[in-house]
Chain A
Amino acid sequence: MSTRTIQGQKNLQDIRQASKDGIGGSPLRPDGTLKVKGEFAYSSDMWHEDMLWGMALRSPHPRANILSVDISEALKLPGVYAVLTHDDIPGSKFYGLEIQDQPALAIDKVRYHGEAIAIVAADHPETARRAVKKIKVEYEVLTPIVTEEQCLNPEVHGYVHEPHEYKSHGHGNICHSQKLVHGGGVTDEIRALADVIVKSDYEVGMQDQAFLGPESGLAVPAEDGGIDLYVATQWLHVDRQQMAPVLGLPEEKVRLTLAGVGGAFGGREDLSMQIHASLLAQRTGKPVKIVYARDESFFGHVHRHPAKMTYEHGVTRDGKLVFADARIVLDGGAYASASPAVVGNAASLGHGPYNIPNVRMEAIALYSNNPSCGAMRGFGAVQAAFAYESQMDKLAAAIGMDPVELRQLNAMSEGDSMPTGQVIDSPAPVAELLQRVKDMPLPPPLDLENLDVRTLPGALSNTSHGEGIVRGIGYSVGIKNVGFSEGFDDYSTARVRLEVIGGEPVAMVHTAMAEVGQGGVTVHAQIARTELGVEQVTIHPANTEVGSAGSTSASRQTYMTGGAVKLAAEAVKQAVIEKGRRRYGWTQNDLTLAGGKVVSESAGALIPLVDLLGDEAIDLTREHHHRPTVPFDKETGQGFGHVQYTFCANRAVVDVDVELGLVKVVELTAAQDVGKALNPLSVIGQIQGGCTQALGLAVMEEIIVRDGKVRNASFTDYLIPTILDTPPIPVDVLELPDPNAPYGLRGVGEAPTVSATPCIVAAIRQATGKALNRIPVRPEHITGTL
């Protein structure tokens, strides 16, 4: 895979003589080799003397009243230690990320297929499974509320949550809504200013995070009556905040330590087994481990919101956008999860990285009896990008303009205003990113003389030897925010300790950051090396002994916790220098730490850290807060709502077997501005991974739900890309620093997931001439056999 790093403005940090394993270098991640060799200890690998196994009984119905639960037969089974229902919960019965609307165990009714009703602890997973089967639940099965029409007519079809149960601004079966009006809005007068109007409906299926390590953790009861939980999660402190009230414990008695995480992508933002294992440990006084089976994992976490969207754009004959109108209906499923924030993103980012003088938008999330939806990589920006980028292609076709040119003509840049009124106050090289992917060399055309069947759609399934293959090319660009928005202060905490160990200065970095595979621990060590001028850095296990690091999501961890590590390391550096000044009376103003010494740019090396520190450790903790934001106005959507924006452009080259509807993505090119690549290898990996997950949504990944029931809760039928589906992904990294961000960096992980899906669909459209207004694109859509 080819990669190219293009320098923007020289970053100040580059001026220093930095360690090759400091920032800007690409030291290898400590977990990489272990994972490849199968030696990494995941949360599911944990073991404790005398531990029990926990398991949940889950509802087979998407909507039902629970008439009775009889646990007596389950309790009689030898080896069963506890069977709990909501009656056994010592504290609050509800939890939730933003709205506490989800019962830890179902109370009198179930609202989605797979909702947990009772939990069992037993001496063996098979005993637990048998005990679960012996729990007798009497249901009154109700017709599930699953379509938009049903949700929006609660008088006819009923309420997912009774109106008196609402804990937020929701009403009817609407969990959250956000409107937005910009410029003159969209009126008949405005419409009249456009030469061409394009209006279409779009639909996005329910994507799953499909992380490979199932939900798992080990809850250990402590002597002080508290719980020590070892768990794979994305945010230790928000787990604790939700768990403690349910367990009836003060937060300090609920201690969490991060266990090995096998991927997350948003799917571990909500609680899964945390409360259940802890309740069972509290009750039995024994350690309790819960590991979900694969099918249970599909029921045990939230998914990406499926969306139905209507978009209308007006454009002048010379390609200037005049107005854009959109309605986005997101199916939030049974419980709120992150729906309100997803709605905020959809509304504020849903018109893309374009200057549009007149805008209107309404985004809503429904409550339904479908599976709950919440956070997933791209968070509210993914669904809309499929719609607005499809619209750009249609507009370009309608006025006979090149689709890249149309996008560039309307592209945002620094100083422009978002439809929310927020001025973009750092680089926004949208047009340039498009130009970069367009200028990359194209892969060679299909060589029909020397065919390798593995390179064709269908590959070794041997469906074509060249018949029916048509190549298509598509372009796209997308916008994503970085960090939590709308007034949320998602600060991060870092503790940095510098001391002499074995005759060498060693830094230790302690945060509660969840390393979920993003490479944060590698970057933290790089920051410490650069700031403290030492080579040896250890990373303390992530736990709740230190302050919150916020969530590993929203492309925020390097920005936020990386920023906290930088602040703490800088404070340690200052303390070291002050110590030297006090002891030696240095007067230079150009002191810093490098090569294990205190150095002065004018006077050279002053003293080795080993000598200056002696037996003393310098141990400081700092919090990093991003600049404040504000909630969007409920009716107009106006407000300085986002911390930072990030952009990625893509080009897709696909071969389609137009007779069979099979697709092979030949190449997927990405260009992204990352502000500053702290670890270029990881940055490229993030971009390639994001593109691949976007490819999955474009052509295969969907949880199929019929009448509220999940039909494909397995990797047999929920398909994710294999290596034969994943093309070369050349990445062009642009580094234009954001003056507001640590090191000028820009969050990386999500932007390609937003932008890459629409360009693949655009390429398939070009090859097939089909409308393809729904993703994932299935062979049936291409062949007209739905």
Chain B
Amino acid sequence: MEFLRPATWDEALAAKAEYPTALPISGGTDVMVEMNFDVHRPSAILDLNRITELTEWEITGDVVRLGASVPYTRIINELSGPLPGLALAAHTVGSPQIRNRGGVGGNLGGASPAGDAHPALLAAGRDVFVEVASHARGTRLIAIDDFYVGVKRNSMEQDELIRRVHIPVADGPQQFSKIGTRNAMVIAVCAFGFALHPKNRTVGTGIGSAAPTPRRAVEAEEYLQGVLAERGLWESGDLLGAEVTQRFGELVKAAASPIDDVRGTADYRRHSLAVMARRTLTWTWNDYSKQIRSAA
């Protein structure tokens, strides 16, 4: 097994071009576990830990540019304001030790439907982009909606590496809920991310662990956007009726296509998604409503 330790991003891209099957590793919280369980014996490992820019973030305009290796602990401590949904998701990742090592790049690279970051990224809006690069073709941005293509598969080419993720700074309340059968350190049975985007009058959703890929509940978003627009709720901040949260929950549930597995049944996943959708919508809308009323 080759162990590649590039010192710079360019060297990393060159190494990935030379060894396209090399498995990138940063925190190792996924890669090392899978190697221990003998799931992979990659021909080469590409260690990204010397590339310091991967652990940096910056805010440019209204966009957070989050380095692929910024650990979850730092997302919680440093980015809860601009990225509240992702920070809530980061809270649910593994143990403190894992949050100190793991970052969003690993979640995206693995593209597991159970990755905790995915629902929050989807909910953060259609302007979330994964910035990837290759030695041969340079940088490109992949819209989050085009990123997940199958079970543990993403739309990256073999010679590409994830540099960072572009996420709009939150302009409204965001929430994230996750079901696990214990109260910490648990892989999601299913998860739901939700965000209000008052600036462009949209809402964002993200479903985790309840379909072959992380996915958006498109009809639920459209239904809610319609209700909010028709009733002038963005402007009034008036409370949502129970029938709205109920219908929203039903549409989120309908958007999932879960399976039965050792972590939970498909029925339970659908059921709990509806409950989480209702609750997260209620929490975010109550917060938004308070903001509108206090501004008025």
Number of interface residues of A (CB under 8 A): 40
Residues of A near B180 (CB, < 8 A) are: 458, 461
Q: Are A725 and B272 in contact (CB-based, < 8 A)?
A: no
Which residues of chain B are near A294, meaning CB under 8 Å? Answer: 36-37
Q: Residue of A at shortest CB range from B283? A: A465
**For residue A464, which residues in chain B have a CB less than 8 angstroms away from its CB?**
279
Distance in angstroms between the alpha carbons of A752 and B75 in the assembled complex: 42
A463 to chain B, nearest CB (A): 5
Contact in complex: B271, A719 (CB < 8 Å):
no
- Among B175, B186, B265, contact of A780 (Cβ-Cβ < 8 Å): B265
A462-B178, A465-B283, A659-B275 as given contacts; A722 in contact with B37, CB under 8 Å: no
Please name all residues of chain A whose beta carbon is closer than 8 Å to the beta carbon of B283 when the two chains form the complex.
Answer: 465
Tell me the nearest residue of chain A to B274, going by C-beta: A659
Which residues of B (19-43) have their CB < 8 Å from a CB of A? Answer: 33, 36-38
Q: Would you call A451 an interface residue if the criterion is a C-beta within 8 Å of the partner chain's C-beta atoms?
A: no
The residue in chain A whose Cβ has the minimal distance to the Cβ of B36 is A293
Q: Interface SS of chain B: helix, strand, loop or mixed? A: mixed
Q: Does A786 contact B (CB under 8 A)?
A: yes
- Are A785 and B185 in contact, with the CB atoms below 8 A? no
B residues 163-197 near A (Cβ < 8 Å) are: 175-187, 189
Tell me the smallest distance from the CB of A564 to a CB of chain B, in Å. Answer: 41
**Residues from chain A with Cβ under 8 Å of B38 in the complex:** 129, 293
Which chain B residues lie closer than 8 Å to A717 at the CB level?
187, 262-263
- Inter-chain contact A660/B181, CB cutoff 8 Å: no
Contact check, A783 vs B179: say whether CB atoms are below 8 A apart.
no
Q: Does the CB pair A459–B184 fall under 8 Å? A: yes
Q: Are A779 and B268 in contact (CB under 8 A)?
A: yes
> Contact at B182–A722, with CB atoms within 8 Å?
yes
Contact between A725 and B184 (Cβ–Cβ < 8 Å)?
yes
A:726-780 near B, CB below 8 Å: 778-780
- In the complex, what distance in Å separates the CA atom of A178 from the CA atom of B35? 46
* Among candidates A457, A468, A783, residue contacting B271 with C-beta atoms closer than 8 Å: A783
**Which residue of B92, B267, B275 is within 8 Å of A461 (Cβ)?**
B92
Interface string of B234-272 (1 = CB under 8 A from A): 000000000000000000000000000011110110111
Q: Are A779 and B181 in contact (CB under 8 A)?
A: yes
Please report the C-alpha to C-alpha distance between residue A671 and residue B36 in the assembled complex, in whole angstroms.
42
Q: Does A333 contact B (CB under 8 A)?
A: no
Task: Report chain A residues within 8 Å CB of B37.
Answer: 293-295, 714
- In the complex, how many angstroms separate the beta carbon of A538 from the nearest chain B beta carbon? 36
**What B residues does A721 contact at CB under 8 A?**
182
The residue in B88, B183, B275 that gathers the most chain A C-beta atoms within 10 A of its C-beta is B183
Task: Assess whether A467 is interfacial by the CB under 8 Å rule.
Answer: yes
Contact A780 B268 (CB under 8 A): yes
Chain B interface size range: 20 to 34
B-contacting residues, A639-680, CB 8 Å = 659-662, 664
1/0 per residue A429-467: CB within 8 Å of B? 000000000000000000000000000011111111101
> In this assembly, does A316 line the interface, its C-beta being within 8 Å of a C-beta of chain B?
no
B276 within 8 A of A: yes
A704 CB within 8 Å of chain B = yes
Q: Is B74 an interface residue (CB 8 A)?
A: no
A167 at the interface (CB under 8 A from B): no
B5 contacts partner chain A, Cβ-Cβ < 8 Å: no
Measured between beta carbons, the chain A residues less than 8 angstroms from B33 are: 716
Contact of B265 among A662, A711, A785 (CB under 8 A): A785
| Cα-based distance from A723 to B96 in the complex (angstroms) | 13
Given contacts A293-B37, A463-B178, A717-B262, is CB(A458)–CB(B272) below 8 Å? no
- Cβ contact within 8 Å between A704 and B262: yes
Complex Cα gap A779–B263 (Å): 10
Measured in the bound complex, the distance between the Cα atoms of B202 and A273 in whole Å is 60
- Cα A583 to Cα B187 with chains together (Å): 73
Contact partners of B267 in chain A: CB under 8 A: 780, 785-786
B186 with A660: CB separation less than 8 A: no
A724, CB-defined interface residue at 8 Å: yes
Contact A719 B262 (CB under 8 A): no
The answer on a CB contact under 8 Å between A661 and B262 is: no
Q: Which of B47-95 contact A (CB under 8 A)?
A: 88, 91-92
* Cβ–Cβ contact A716 & B187, under 8 A: yes
| CB-based contact B184/A462 at 8 Å | no
Say yes or no for A700: interface residue by CB 8 A criterion: yes
A719 and B186 contact, CB distance less than 8 A: yes
**How far apart are A664's CB and chain B's nearest CB, in angstroms?**
6
Bound-state Cα–Cα, A780 to B181, Å: 10
Q: Does A712 have its Cβ within 8 Å of any Cβ on chain B?
A: yes
Report the minimum CB–CB distance from B115 to chain A (whole Å). Answer: 14
Please name all residues of chain A whose beta carbon is closer than 8 Å to the beta carbon of B270 when the two chains form the complex: 785
* Least Cβ–Cβ distance between A436 and chain B, in angstroms: 28
A625 to B267, CA, bound (A): 56
Please give, as numbers and ranges, the residues of chain A lying within 8 Å of B175 by CB-CB distance.
462
Asked, given contacts A293-B37, A465-B279, A711-B262, whether A719 binds B272 with beta carbons under 8 Å apart, the answer is no
Cβ of A725: which chain B residues have Cβ within 8 Å of it? 182-184
**Chain B neighbourhood of A786, CB < 8 A:** 265, 267-268
> B184 touches which one: A293, A465, A722, A779 (CB < 8 A)?
A722
Identify which of A464, A785, A786 gathers the most chain B CB atoms within 10 Å of its CB.
A785
Please, what's the 1-or-0 string for A505-547, where 1 marks a CB less than 8 Å from any CB in chain B? Answer: 0000000000000000000000000000000000000000000
Q: Closest approach, in angstroms, between the C-beta of B101 and any C-beta of chain A?
A: 16
Are A463 and B179 in touch, CB under 8 angstroms? yes
* Residue among B263, B264, B272 with the highest chain A CB neighbour number at 10 A: B272
Q: List 15 A-B contacts (CB under 8 A).
A: A129-B38, A293-B37, A294-B37, A458-B180, A462-B175, A659-B275, A664-B183, A717-B262, A719-B182, A724-B182, A724-B183, A779-B264, A780-B268, A785-B267, A785-B270
